[in-house]
Amino acid sequence: MANVHIKPIGLLDMLYFKSKKVKRDSIIDATAVKELKADYESNIKAHERHPGNQEFVIEDIIIRGRGDVRSYVLRKKDGTNPAFFRAGQFVVLRQMIDGKLICRPVTLSCGPSMTLEGKCMVTVKRVEPDGFLSGYIHDNWKIGDTIETSGPQGTFYYEGIRDAEKVIAVAGGSGITPVFSMACAIADGDEDFDLTVLYGSRTRDDVLFEEEFAEIMKKTGKVRVINVLSEEEDEGCEHGFITADLIRKYAGEGTFSVFAAGSKGMYDFLDGEAEKLGLKKKYYRKELYDNVSRPWEYEGYPMEAKDKTFNLKIKMCDKVFDIPCAANENIMVALERAGIAGPNRCRGGICGWCRSRLLEGTVFIPEETDGRRAKDKELGYIHPCASFATGNIYIEMPNRRN
């Protein structure tokens, strides 16, 4: 090993540094003042990849399933390509309804390569009676309309250094959309992992993307789809629920990850099955966006608050608003109903974009969707998209930003 001699800083070094400073200052003084460029190449590229806003024209509408699911093919309005994304990510739809800005995340239900043709696709299921925005979209969006979204968001995508090479995707109903996007990405060569999809539907008529999946399976041996029907039996399909035994049957030997995308009911069931499988935490991943409704279904909810309406005082910069806040809906929804557009993205308590301070009162936050940092919990910060008032509350929220 070489000997390293560290010389202590002496007087001569100090004089040397001092002379250097004089020289440096003279160079700075002699340099002509130039205006900063308005746009640096790196900033332009960063903006293209992570735009705050994207405007699209609806190019086509595809009706699926029993007619309660629609895919919207969207072409970028300015003729450029939409931001490239990771299969499984979502965008936030922004829609003005009766003068109020309503935002909801929706998965990009296409392969990322589609963006290279200037377009992408989102799929929306009409949700009754909770579908504040989905009903509006089904009833109003038509070909040729202009709509607005955020850039791609979310972390529900395959990551080679974290996930196993073999993935069992468990999808329920319209939860198939991020999984379909992953299958497209594998077929197009944008992702490289083995994907087995256990797709739970009530009947064969409820199955979505069946023809598209068949095309993908013809194109690549890395994707296979097994339909699991709960209310009927059909040739080539499994029958019943997606249990640990069924997952084991299709996973075979070796390590695998489970990616789950569906409703809270499905997750509650699957959590127990994942425990039976003895899956490490990192190998069990759930798509959680926009999944926080019906707080009384979560453990620890104070039932005496259910069905009540409280007062929500909210401070945003120099303005203070007083609005009603129903205990049964999250604080973000109460703000939207009052026409106040707060910052939001995932709407599942995870991304932290809506991080606000609880100044007075109490809220209920389901543990499953409590994505706050430990320090934030200590300092009284909440994520309003995943918090429910359990009494009168006062919060401080930053202004909306894209």
Q: How many helices (H) and strands (E) does the chain have?
A: 9, 19
Q: How far is the CB of 385 from ligand FES (least distance, A)?
A: 3
**Which amino acid makes up residue 349?**
G
Smaller CB separation from ligand FES, 150 or 174: 150
| Token pair recorded at residue 66 | 């029993």
Q: How far is the CB of 243 from ligand FES (least distance, A)?
A: 32
Q: How far is the CB of 123 from ligand FES (least distance, A)?
A: 21
Q: How far is the CB of 310 from ligand FES (least distance, A)?
A: 20
Smaller CB separation from ligand FES, 202 or 355: 355
Residue 211, strand partner residues: none
Q: How far is the CB of 2 from ligand FES (least distance, A)?
A: 52
Smaller CB separation from ligand FES, 257 or 291: 291
Residue in 152, 383, 389, 397 binding ligand FES, rule: CB under 6 A: 383
Smaller CB separation from ligand FES, 90 or 259: 90
Report the alpha-carbon distance of residue 201 to residue 49 in Å, rounded.
Answer: 35
Q: How far is the CB of 172 from ligand FES (least distance, A)?
A: 22
Report the alpha-carbon distance of residue 269 to residue 307 in Å, rounded.
Answer: 26
SS3 of the chain: helix, strand, coil, percent, to 5: 30, 30, 45
For every residue of 199-244, DSSP letters joined together read EEESSGGG--SHHHHHHHHHH-TTEEEEEEESS---TT-EES---H
Give the count of residues interacting with ligand FES (CB under 6 A). Answer: 13
Q: How far is the CB of 88 from ligand FES (least distance, A)?
A: 16
Report the alpha-carbon distance of residue 312 to residue 296 in Å, rounded.
Answer: 19
- Which parts of 314-373 interact with ligand FES (CB under 6 A)? 344-347, 349-354, 371
For every residue of 147-197, DSSP letters joined together read EEE---B-S-S--TTTS-SEEEEEEEGGGHHHHHHHHHHHHTTS--SEEEE
Q: What phi, psi does 269 have (nearest 5°)?
A: -70, -45
Site for ligand FES, rule CB under 6 A: 344-347, 349-354, 371, 383, 385
